[in-house]
């Protein structure tokens, strides 16, 4: 990659891969958590993730590139970490640990979507800027919801 446009395309493929990987991982997380509110939040975010994939397809269209993913080692590592928690943790530690793992994913996505959004703006791609802002706002809201659940419901001694 030598240009901002090439970096934009590569990173877009990265998040497309990540969101698709999450559609496979989130049902496992929802099945593992014990708290009903956390389960509902994970299931709701799964549906939102599916919608985000459709939004990403619109972003690909703005740059006239076929939607496809490129392997994202960061996302694969974060998913593997969550899988390890599901195997090893139990009780309150499981739910608290999975909130932390989910937030790690959200933080990664927030950083990626924030960069993509700003690059779209610099590249003069207003439609992509708007679409990526939508996703970024959803990711920030999901993170805030997880924080609230952790503080008010899950985290206990």
Q: What is the pTM of this model?
A: 0.95
Under 8 Å between Cβ of 49 and 105: no
Residue labelled with tokens 């014990």: 34
Query: Using CA atoms, how far apart are residues 142 and 11, in angstroms rounded to an integer?
Result: 21
* Per-residue pLDDT of the chain in tens (157 residues, 90 and over written 9): 899 999 999 999 999 999 999 999 999 999 999 999 999 999 999 999 999 999 999 999 999 999 999 999 999 999 999 999 999 999 889 999 999 999 999 999 999 999 999 999 999 999 999 999 999 999 999 999 999 999 999 997 6
Which phi and psi (to 5°) does residue 72 adopt?
Answer: -115, 100
Range of the domain at 14: 4-154
Secondary structure of residue 70 in the 3-state scheme: coil
CB 102 within 8 A of CB 146: yes
The tokens describing 84, both together, are 């390890």
Of the CA atoms within 13 Å of residue 96, those in its CB half-sphere come to: 12
90, 36 in Cβ contact below 8 A? no
Read off the CATH number of the domain in which 36 is found.
1.20.1260.10
**How many independent structural domains does the chain possess?**
1
């Amino acid at each position: 990659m030598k240009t901002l446009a090439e970096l934009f395309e590569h990173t877009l493929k990265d998040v497309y891969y990540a969101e698709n990987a999450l559609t496979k991982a989130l049902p496992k997380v929802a099945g593992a958590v014990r708290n009903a509110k956390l389960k509902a939040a994970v299931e709701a975010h799964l549906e939102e993730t599916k919608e985000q994939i459709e939004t990403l397809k619109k972003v690909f269209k703005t740059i006239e590139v076929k939607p496809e993913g490129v392997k994202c080692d960061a996302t694969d590592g974060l998913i593997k970490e969550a899988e390890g928690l599901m195997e090893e943790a139990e009780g309150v530690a499981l739910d608290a640990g999975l909130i932390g793992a989910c937030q790690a994913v959200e933080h990664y996505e927030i950083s990626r979507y924030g960069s993509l959004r700003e690059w779209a703006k610099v590249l003069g791609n207003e439609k992509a800027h708007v679409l990526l802002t939508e996703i970024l706002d959803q990711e920030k809201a999901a993170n805030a919801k997880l924080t609230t659940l952790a503080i008010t419901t899950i985290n206990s001694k």
